Amino acid sequence: MTTLSPLLNALADLAATEPRPEAQATARALRAAADTAFPKQPPSVLSQGILHAAALAGAHPATRLIQEAHTFLPWQDSPAASLQPTSLRAIKSIVTLLGPGAPIPSGSRLFGLFYQAPGSYYPLHAHNAAETYTILSGTAHWQAGDRRFTLSPGEVSYHPPNLPHAMRAGPEGFLATWRWSGDIGFDSYVMLPDPDSIQG
């Protein structure tokens, strides 16, 4: 067991830059739980890609702390995995740090880390929760509603409830934080018709 105080505080600082009350509450919860003990975890099948993405030039400083904490971070399938195509399990992995059943318990918020493999496509989907992604390393080509744009380290995409969104990872994959608030149940998660997924 070990504490991940430097990482949790760095992620709290990052969450606090988002000008929404839910993000500020998430930052406070991460700081308050900075001494939480994390057990050692088995490696993820995507560990090599995760560590490569964390070491990319131009990455957010928090990625160095992710590298150092890697063996204590519970990388796994998304809680929504049962609602997604099985093929998505091979291209992405998440860590849930804050939320129901997470190392830092919360019944009203979710927060963690997200990795998506190089060049892979996460098809159009939506859910009741409001969501924010902040890119830590790599690049991602994003769709949020009718908007399409590319995100680099430090850049953010906010999705109001039920906004359709999708993302394609750049050539070296990407690491991000993700935050949910509002209705954080996964029963509202739905995959949507997406012509781009045929090409992806």
Answer whether 180's CB lies under 8 Å from 131's CB.
yes
Each of the 200 residues of the chain gets a pLDDT tens digit; together they read 999 999 999 999 999 999 999 999 999 999 999 999 999 999 999 999 999 999 999 999 999 999 999 999 999 998 888 889 898 989 999 999 999 999 999 999 999 999 999 999 999 999 999 999 999 999 999 999 999 999 999 999 999 999 999 999 999 999 999 999 999 999 999 999 998 765 54
Query: In whole angstroms, what is the distance from residue 40 CA to residue 129 CA?
Result: 30
| pTM score above 0.85 | yes
Query: In whole angstroms, what is the distance from residue 109 CA to residue 18 CA?
Result: 15
Query: In whole angstroms, what is the distance from residue 197 CA to residue 200 CA?
Result: 5
Query: How many other C-beta atoms lie within 10 A of the C-beta of residue 161?
Result: 14
Indicate the length of the chain as a whole number.
200
Reduced DSSP (H G I as helix, E B as strand, rest coil) percent helix, strand, coil of the chain, to 5 = 30, 35, 35
